[in-house]
A and B are shown apart, each in its own frame.
Chain A
């Protein structure tokens, strides 16, 4: 950002502008490092470290949600506004197991991941696949996904009402480490989330399925010509996206609480991570989700916490306007 503004001013600025175009991720991390130094200088190491630790929970949830959304977006050209409600659906499925049936949260997580994955698969079969076969356009699919979001949210409201519910988790105990405090549940969320994110990264990078997903995201027709069974890969993509959304929903529900509008509240920050990471790029989404969580939490050191969501959206708009292909995306024609 800084670099592009300074471009016209001097030869060294020209070099920076070049760098911003060629190595945007390096520049982004440079800017973030500068922000970090400035914050440490102004607020002290302890406060910044504590805010960063707090931010990991939020960042993990954004990252988990964004990986699935970016794959669906990249492969199917579907701007899925119902993705946030997939998260909410997962959270309520965990509630069913964890609170209604009084079973451990682990069982709830597994159940939520399985059911949300099946939900994704179900709508692929009854909606998205027939619509693609009809050659539906982007706006048509976008509006359908808004309709689907309404349907899922009203189903949640129908069965569970609008009251705020909580999962059966320990919200009292906390762990102290090097003078930093983190709640027990937060710690579990971060550990589980990061572990899954690493696993996801490895699967996408090294497994045959992951490579096929990347190929489809790059160019669906070319992948099909190359002999990849695209239909099957698409089904797996939905399972993958649904399971991760379900997990993200449960983790978010464990950290805060459950309410029907949970999904929509998470949707825009997740979209921000998808776009910052470059559409269709799961590694980008993963990194951008974590970074977004960190930057949003840092903002609370400078401005009042109630502004932090606003801050995240402003970051999204600025990023889109300056570099629509994302920090980790390649400069395709946008």
Chain B
């Protein structure tokens, strides 16, 4: 299993090019983990399928653009809707199950999505992935429309800042999404709808006894999470300029859980801070000159996340900003 994708080179600690990459990937993980926060932290449903939602979103978008010839700007909302429908389709039979069964079903679903992407070669390009296709001699790539927007943003920025970083537009859009997500989700958390979610987390039977259709609420929570997964899937595809099955392995979901736990359950701003912290920690270790091979460095990065998860769960399960009294880790 390859570590989560990161494709850039480093020169110096102060290299903005390097850190813009780190921040972009951290932002993408923050978007993924915001969905987890809504599900795990506020609704009490243990969703292990975020990587699958990312894959459904990313692949739907690319297939709609490349195969169906849809415009990029139409493909985005269409792919979001497809992913949300997929989330509800999975949730409908499985949300009634016990938490541990639900976790395994969602994880298995994400793997089915990834394996299907790997094997349905005609549609997804299999292990070659998807990026560009030749349409009667013209090369069409799924991110053509984005590239032109990105270039015009860069052209505007050049008025104040000579030679800006090429990643800057994506970085801005990703973190704008994170900010909107935090504000929006924090707002709905205070609405009656959000309070029902909390009630389900605390005691689903009690919520049902009060006449709430808890399955419907849980489905909505899962659908919103799927939407955030789809957005993260788009961003990852634009960041890597390709869509490949290996980028949607379960490890992506596990890392997002790392972000969630580091930031703390039941705290949306914790997700953003946890994401930046985790990726700074992971990528910062690149600057520690260790006399070891690249393979061993990769192993070390994995071990860091593993040890962090173990220690956090053992000694500070509420993470940095979580509230102990709001923490439902299952029983």
Pair B107/A151 contact, Cβ less than 8 Å: no
Cα of A147 to Cα of B301 in the assembled complex, Å: 12
The CA-CA distance from A161 to B295 in the complex, in Å, is 6
Select the stretch in A22-30, A233-241, A317-325 that faces chain B: A317-325
Give B109's nearest chain A residue, CB to CB.
A317
Q: Is the CB of A140 within 8 A of B111?
A: no
Interface residues contributed by chain B, number (CB under 8 Å) = 48
Q: Known contacts being A158-B299, A162-B295, is A139 close to B99, with CB within 8 Å?
A: yes
Q: Smallest CB-CB separation from B331: which chain A residue?
A: A137
**A154 close to B98 (CB less than 8 A):** no
Among B300-331, those with CB < 8 Å from A are: 300-303, 305-310, 313-314, 317, 328-331
Stretch at the interface among B61-69, B112-120, B135-143: B112-120
B238 within 8 A of A: no
The interface residues of chain B lying within 8 Å CB-to-CB of A147 are 305-310, 313
Chain A, residue nearest B102 (CB): A320
List B contacts of A313 (CB < 8 A).
108-109, 111-112, 115
A146 with B93: CB separation less than 8 A: no
Q: Are A138 and B101 also in contact (CB < 8 A) when A127-B310, A158-B300, A321-B94 are?
A: no
- Complex Cα gap A150–B40 (Å): 21
Q: Which of under 10, 10 to 19, 20 to 34, or 35 or more describes the interface residues of A?
A: 35 or more
The verdict on A64 contacting chain B, using a C-beta distance below 8 Å, is: no
A143 contacts B303, C-beta separation under 8 Å:
no
B310 in contact with A151 (CB, 8 Å): yes
Given the known A-B contacts A137-B331, A138-B330, A146-B309, are A151 and B303 also in contact in the complex, defined by CB atoms under 8 Å? Answer: yes
* A138–B261 touching, CB < 8 Å: no
Distance between A190 CB and nearest chain B CB, rounded to angstroms: 26
State the CA gap A314–B105 with chains docked (Å): 10
- Which one, A127, A142, A268, contacts B100 given CB within 8 A? A142
Contacts of B235 in A (CB 8 A): none
- On whether the beta carbons of B308 and A157 are closer than 8 Å, the reply is no
Chain B nearest Cβ from A303, distance in angstroms: 10
Most buried by B among A140, A143, A275, A306: A143
- Name the distance in Å between B254's Cβ and chain A's nearest Cβ: 5
User: Are the C-beta atoms of B261 and A143 separated by less than 8 Å?
Assistant: yes
CB nearest neighbor in A for B329: A137
Residue A105 interfacial (CB < 8 Å): no
> Residues of A contacting B331 with CB < 8 Å?
137-138
- Which of chain A's residues has its CB closest to B293's CB? A161
Contact flags A110-123 to B (C-beta < 8 A → 1, else 0): 00000000000000
Asked if B97 contacts A140 (CB within 8 A), the reply is no
Q: Which residues in B have their C-beta under 8 angstroms from that of A261?
A: 1
Contacts A79-B100, A143-B257, A334-B97 hold; do A150 and B305 have CB atoms under 8 A apart? Answer: yes
User: Is B157 among interface residues, defined by CB-CB distance under 8 A?
Assistant: no
Chain A residues with CB under 8 A of B111? 268, 313
Is A309 interfacial (CB 8 A cutoff)? yes
The CA of A151 and the CA of B300, in the complex, are separated in Å by: 9
A122-179 CB contacts (< 8 Å) to partner B: 127, 130-131, 136-144, 146-151, 153-155, 157-158, 161-162
Is the beta-carbon distance between B330 and A324 smaller than 8 angstroms?
no
Q: Does B98 lie within 8 Å of A310, measured CB to CB? A: no
Distance (whole angstroms) from the CB of B55 to the closest CB of chain A: 13
Q: Is there an interface contact between A158 and B119, defined as CB atoms closer than 8 Å?
A: no
Give complex CA distance A136, B316 in Å.
12
Known A-B contacts: A138-B330, A154-B301. Give 14 more (CB < 8 A): A137-B329, A144-B314, A149-B306, A151-B307, A154-B299, A158-B296, A260-B1, A306-B119, A310-B116, A316-B105, A317-B94, A321-B94, A321-B105, A334-B97
Q: Report, nearest first, the 5 A-B pairs whose CB atoms are least far apart.
A: A150-B306, A147-B309, A138-B330, A137-B329, A147-B310
Q: 19 pairs across A/B with beta carbons < 8 Å?
A: A136-B329, A137-B328, A137-B329, A140-B313, A140-B330, A144-B310, A147-B308, A150-B302, A151-B306, A153-B1, A154-B300, A154-B301, A154-B302, A157-B295, A157-B302, A161-B295, A310-B112, A310-B116, A316-B105
